[in-house]
Amino acid sequence: MKIFNVQNIRLADQYTIQNEPVSSVNLMERAALSCADWISANCKHHTKFAIFCGNGNNGGDALAIARMLYLKGFDVDVFINKAHVNFSEDALVNYKRIKDISGISVKDFDETEKYNFEKTIIIDALFGTGLSRKPEGIFKKLIEILNSKSSIKISVDIPSGMFADQINDEKSTIFKADYTLTFQFWKKAFLHPETGKFTGKVIVLDISLSKEFIENTTTEDFVIDDEIIQNVFKPRQDFAHKGTYGKSVIVG
């Protein structure tokens, strides 16, 4: 499986939007549905979710996830930064959609410390792959509070505070997920020991980005997957002689 950097991931989105064609908000809906379906299938014994949304498209994904989980019968509370509500265009669409649902509570980040997280799954969507600087202020404090909770934690696309294409420094504040539901591609940072420890189990969700773009776009980074193994693996006879398939030399 190819690993794309942030720039190529954005280009894959744009190419899909232009050539499928599909609107950007409907591509967001597709990504959110893949998450909501995974969560509902794998978190059946939990009924309550606290979803933390930033202002960008990562937050927009989570706002759509909140709506979908609520419609699947889960209890959902959404947290936003009410003091600085400046949603991206597509995120705003999904914010307006949940505002029309009386059963979803929209809370402020400041309410986090007094919130009862018992039997609650935390969903993190504060920052996406476009993060360019370390979380500071209210976001740094919020991530530290959430990391202190014993709840199951799920990140949407990438743990908040993590850079996708580079290693964070040791003083960075990063959300520590149990699961990361990432879209279409592994991110390079998931494979570094300094940052990979924050992702938990990585689940790559296929959101049907353009196969043509993926095939025609080059990269030097790959993850070994079933397809690669199937192309190189040669089944061996159970009773073959040890020399039948060649010899190995170890230089020490």
The full set of domains in the chain, from first to last, is 6-232 (3.40.50.10260)
CA dihedral 209, 164, 158, 219 (to 10 degrees): 30
What pLDDT does residue 208 have?
96
Confidence of residue 232 (pLDDT cuts 50, 70, 90): confident
Query: In which band, very low, low, confident or very high, does the pLDDT at 240 lie, cut at 50, 70 and 90?
Result: confident
Nearest of 94, 89, 90 to residue 70 by alpha carbon: 94
Q: Which tens digit of pLDDT belongs to each residue from 69-95? A: 999 999 999 999 999 999 999 999 999
- Contacts from 43-48 at CB under 8 Å and sequence distance 24+? 43/121, 43/152, 46/74, 46/119, 46/120, 46/121, 46/152, 47/73, 47/74, 47/75, 47/119, 48/74, 48/75, 48/76, 48/77, 48/119, 48/120, 48/121
* pLDDT tens-digit readout, 162-218: 999 999 998 899 999 999 999 999 999 999 999 999 999 999 999 999 999 999 999
Q: How confident is the model at residue 152 (pLDDT cuts 50, 70, 90)?
A: very high
